[in-house]
Amino acid sequence: MKQLSLILLALQLLVACGNQNGKPTNVETINEPANTAPAENPSYDAKRGEGSYTDVTVPETLNVSLVAEGNKVYNVKCSSCHKLSNEKLVGPGWKDVTKRRTAAWILNFITNTEVMLNKDPEAQAQLELCLVRMPNQNLSDKEAKSLYEFMRKNDSK
């Protein structure tokens, strides 16, 4: 009876883990990013990315209190992977990031990281260089905006 139970359990595992339809399983594709280029998705806006930020107005002058809050967020959640220079640590350096990307793109990336890494060609290119997916930092809108202001301050040096 014990042998029969073990054989049935083994068969059940084989059936459950089998790939009968010939399509890749999730395990086989876990490291492959979704390749949704703008040409394949005409509604995707590469200048703003994917997320809740659509049209961000950036004031000419820096908000000093937001910069200070952004510095705190950077020190706690970002500095272990990103340098403020061009130098790559785990992730890319932040030097001139606000000059290369729109405010909406940056804010969408830091608040909607997984979707951006799966959809945005520029984010995917950075992923190929860095080889490590940025984890979701669960930033609030206020933290994200203060971090963006801190990035602006870094780029104004």
> Quick one: pLDDT at residue 11?
53
Predicted local distance difference test score (pLDDT) of residue 22: 45
Place of tokens 């399983």: 25
pLDDT in tens, 52-86: 999 899 999 999 999 999 999 999 999 999 999 99
Q: What is the 3-state secondary structure (H, E, C) of 34-77?
A: CCCCCCCCCCCCCCCCCCCCCCCCCCCCCCHHHHHHHHHHHHHH
- The answer to which of 22-31, 84-93, 145-154 has the lowest mean pLDDT is 22-31
Domain made up of 63-157: CATH architecture = Orthogonal Bundle (1.10)
Amino acid 32: pLDDT:
39
pLDDT at 5: 61
- Are 110 and 101 in contact by the 8 Å Cβ rule? The answer is no
Residue, of 4 and 133, whose pLDDT is higher: 133
Tokens of 116: 């951006």
**Using CA of residue 141, residue 142, residue 143, residue 147, what is the dihedral sign?**
positive
pLDDT of residue 7 exceeding 70: no
What was the pLDDT predicted at 42?
Answer: 60
pLDDT band, very low/low/confident/very high, at 40 (cuts 50, 70, 90): low
Question: What are the tokens at 18?
Answer: 């089998």
Mean predicted lDDT score pLDDT of the chain: 82
Amino acid at 97: V
Task: Please choose, from the candidates 116, 110, 105, the residue with its C-alpha nearest in 3D space to the C-alpha of residue 144.
Answer: 110
